[in-house]
Amino acid sequence: MPDVRFDIYYRYDDLARILRGYAEERPDLVRIRSIGKSYEGRDVWLLTITHFGDTEKEVDRERPALWVDGNIHASEVSGSSACLYLIHALVNGYGKDADITRCLDTRAFYVCPRVNPDGAEWALADRPKIIRSSTRPYPYDEEPLGGLVQEDVDGDGRMLWMRIPDPDGPWKVSEQEPRLMVRREPAETGGRYYRLLPEGRLEDYDGALINIQPRKEGLDLNRNFPAKWRQEHEQRGAGPYPTSEPEVRNLVDFIAQHPNITGGVAFHTYSGVLLRPFSDQPDDEFVPEDLWTYQKIGEKGKEITGYPHASVFHDFKYYPKEVMTGAFDDWIFGHFGVFGWTVELWSPQRQAGIEDYKFIEWDREHPFEDDLKLLRWSDEKLGGRGYVDWYEFEHPQLGRIELGGRDAMYAFRNPPPDLLEREISPFPRWLTWHLLISPLLELHEATARPLGEGRYLVRVVVRNSGWLPTYVTKNALNRKLVRGVVCEIELPDGASLETGRQREEIGHLEGRAYKPSAPSYASDTTEDRAKVEWVVSAPEGGTARITARHERAGVVRAEVELSP
Ligand SMILES: [Zn+2]
């Protein structure tokens, strides 16, 4: 097993070495490949994890699979850690943990720990530079001029806040806790007030006006997916056209070429929530079965990880009247018809004992009591690293100011390294469960009954032993995104079909996902099975080979002897 630690955020070369290490040491379980290059030309690594045994074949393609990725947003590096932890847990658990063993014997994981290696490399640099996602300049390939540029201006490796005295400032020092700032009362005047701005340098400062410099790197890769993609004036950062960015195209191409994928999970930070579609419309727009199934998968996630599950539209809007589009989870559900999730790792609020808070809405409005809890948490659990007390600093443009406040990168946006493993360790169980509920095609019967005079009735019955139906979502069924089971017969020399065709499509197989909690009239019929029959003329006997395959449920093979 490669040397790996979960209290470190790995840079690209180290992460790549660890990923290769798994493939080199466990070729029976892990294969590594590049699914394409990033904008700056780095390989984007993908691990396929299934029980290959000693075969050279791509057996993963014949098994239901789960897609898992992380770190499409540059600074959300704990997403990569969650993927790495999954890989580690699967490789270690195979042969020991019954669920993991059964999962890898029958199914496959595709894990892409770092979708956006360029942006992550900037975030993890010794003097970090924080951007939303890709390092490609957008929309203009020019250096922006003027304004506040966020950077570690005192070179201590942290990016904090600048507290600037200003009679027009909206903040004042809290009387209750002098390290915290509170809003100035609406009609209040005559006190000592401040502006709070991100730590950084000011370009072309005129002594009066401060604006934030627009970022040269204005893309948001998680707005560049084809689902309901919208242009810049409606969706900031979406790029010039859907999948215009190599990081997104790599991923979309791979998933489109792997119709065996039955679900997808993308790791982000932060908020501590399992997010699901839709981003742009209410739950009423779901086919009911798909919403019910989403809720059941989410409940299992909550039970295992402690994270609640929520709809982006209902619970994760940045502004009540604005929706977000072009995201991964909406794309994989909408265009591919499988269950997709955006996991926002880590909740500083919950860590601090703030329960049932409103994710993004909390930033706009929350009680001061919450700030006190967060400060206490930083003092007691983080050794003061989460909220730095204000200290004087001679700023090159602003003169004497103070630096301090929240350390966003390692207390809020990502877990502090020493708390990382505890945060990500529950996820492999949920992801394994998520894959184990996939449809799975199995052989129920394959027989040849002699009918006399060299004729045989060949009968094949297949079944779906998974919880989900073979089509996975009603959305996929209604949009005809997935084909039914295809059954093919290969005859021995000298034989011919008297009835039936060589290739028969026998439709989809139901699962157990929609079974009611009280038995009802027709709920337990055998819709999870399907049958095909051929009459074969084989005067010289021989062996008929049968293959049944379903894009999402896998492949089964059988041989039947044609002998009187
Ligand atoms: Zn994100």
* DSSP per-residue letters across 6-49: SSS---HHHHHHHHHHHHHH-TTTEEEEEEEE-TTS-EEEEEEE
Strand intervals (E) in 185-239: 194-198, 200-203
> Within a 10 A sphere around the Cβ of 24, how many other Cβ atoms?
11
Amino acid at 430: W
Q: What is the pLDDT of residue 436?
A: 98
379, 146 contact by CB (below 8 A): no
pLDDT at 387: 93
Task: Judge whether 435 and 428 are in contact, CB under 8 Å.
Answer: no
Count the Cβ atoms, other than its own, within 10 Å of residue 367.
11
Centroid of ligand 1 to alpha carbon of 329 (angstroms) = 12
- How far the first Cα of the chain sits from its last, in Å, is 54
Compute, in angstroms, the gap from residue 73 CA to the centroid of ligand 1: 5
Give me the domains of the chain, ranges plus CATH numbers. Answer: 12-126+218-346+416-436 (3.40.630.10), 147-215+350-411 (no CATH), 441-562 (2.60.40.10)
- Write out pLDDT tens, residues 176-194: 999 999 999 999 999 999 9
Taking the centre of ligand 1 as the mean of its atom positions, its distance from the CA of residue 513, in whole angstroms, is 30
Per DSSP bridges, beta strands 309-311 and 399-406 are unpaired
* Placement of tokens 């069924």 in the chain: 477
Q: How many CA atoms lie within 13 A of 120 on its CB side?
A: 28
Structure tokens at 41: 């030309």
Task: Kindly report the backbone phi and psi dihedral angles of residue 253, in degrees, each rounded to the nearest multiple of 5, phi listed first.
Answer: -60, -50
Which of 461, 534, 445 is CA-nearest to residue 491? 534
- The tens digit of pLDDT for each residue in 444-495 reads 999 999 999 999 999 999 999 999 999 999 999 999 999 999 999 999 999 9
Q: Report CA(268)–ligand 1 centroid distance (Å).
A: 4
In which residue ranges of the chain is pLDDT below 70? 410
Q: Side chain identity at 357, as an amino acid letter?
A: Y
User: How close is the Cα of 537 to the center of ligand 1, in Å?
Assistant: 61
- The Å distance, Cα 60 to ligand 1 centre, comes to 29
d(CA 207, CA 175): 30
Q: CB under 8 Å to 404, separation ≥6 — which residues? A: 160, 161, 163, 179, 387, 388, 389, 390, 391
**C-alpha of residue 542 to centroid of ligand 1, in Å:** 59
Residue 154: which of 402, 393, 401 has the closest Cα? Answer: 393
Please tell me the distance between residue 238's alpha carbon and the centre of ligand 1 in angstroms. Answer: 14
Cα 78 to averaged position of ligand 1 atoms, centre (Å): 11
Pairing of strands 496-499, 529-537: antiparallel
For the chain, the residue count is: 564
CA of 267 to the centre of ligand 1 (A): 8
Structure tokens at 454: 């060299």
Residue 76 C-alpha to ligand 1 middle, in angstroms?
Answer: 6
Give 233 Cα–ligand 1 centroid separation in angstroms.
Answer: 21
Give the tokens for residue 438: 């996939």
pLDDT score of 128: 81
CA distance 198 to 421: 29
CA of 72 to the centre of ligand 1 (A): 7
Give the C-alpha separation, 161 to 340, whole Å.
Answer: 36
pTM for this entry = 0.96
Contact 487, 546 (CB under 8 A): yes
What angle, 0 to 180 degrees and rounded to 10, lies between the N-to-C axes of helices 417-424 and 78-93? 50
